Amino acid sequence: MKQITSIDDYRHVISGEGTVVMFSAGWCPDCVVIEPILPELEEKYHDLAFYKVNRDDFIELCQELEVFGIPSFLVFKHGKEVHRFVSKDRKTKEEIDRFLSEAKEK
C-alpha cells in the first residue's frame, strides 16, 4: 500500500478510476492488527488502487472528510467519494472484504 505524502498527492490519487484510501496511524493497535491482511485484499481487488494516509500528518483532511476513527477506509472514483467504512471499531478481514466488494459495485 502506497503512502500519501501531500494534499496534492491525495487529490491526484482520488481522481483515478477506483481508489481506496485507508486512514491509520502507527500508534493505533487496531491499524497494526489489520496490516498483515491488507496485501491479500489488495491482490484480490487488484482493479482498485490502495493508499494509506497517516491521520496524524493530515488532521485537517480527516476533519474535512469526517474521519474521526481509525482504521477507516474511503473509496473514491473520479474524485468523488462513493463508499466509506469509518468507525473507531476494530475491523475484521471479512468486514473489509465485504466493504471492498460493495465498493466495486458503486
* Helix locations, the chain, DSSP H: 7-14, 29-34, 38-44, 59-65, 93-104
Q: Which helix (H) or strand (E) holds 81?
A: strand 80-85
Is 62 among the residues known to form the active site? Answer: no
Catalytic residue selected from 20, 21, 28, 67: 28
Among candidates 91, 93, 3, 103, which has minimal Cα distance to 45?
Answer: 103
Is 31 among the residues known to form the active site? Answer: yes
Catalytic residue selected from 4, 14, 31, 70: 31
* Cβ contact 78:17 at 8 Å: yes
Report the catalytic residues: 28, 31
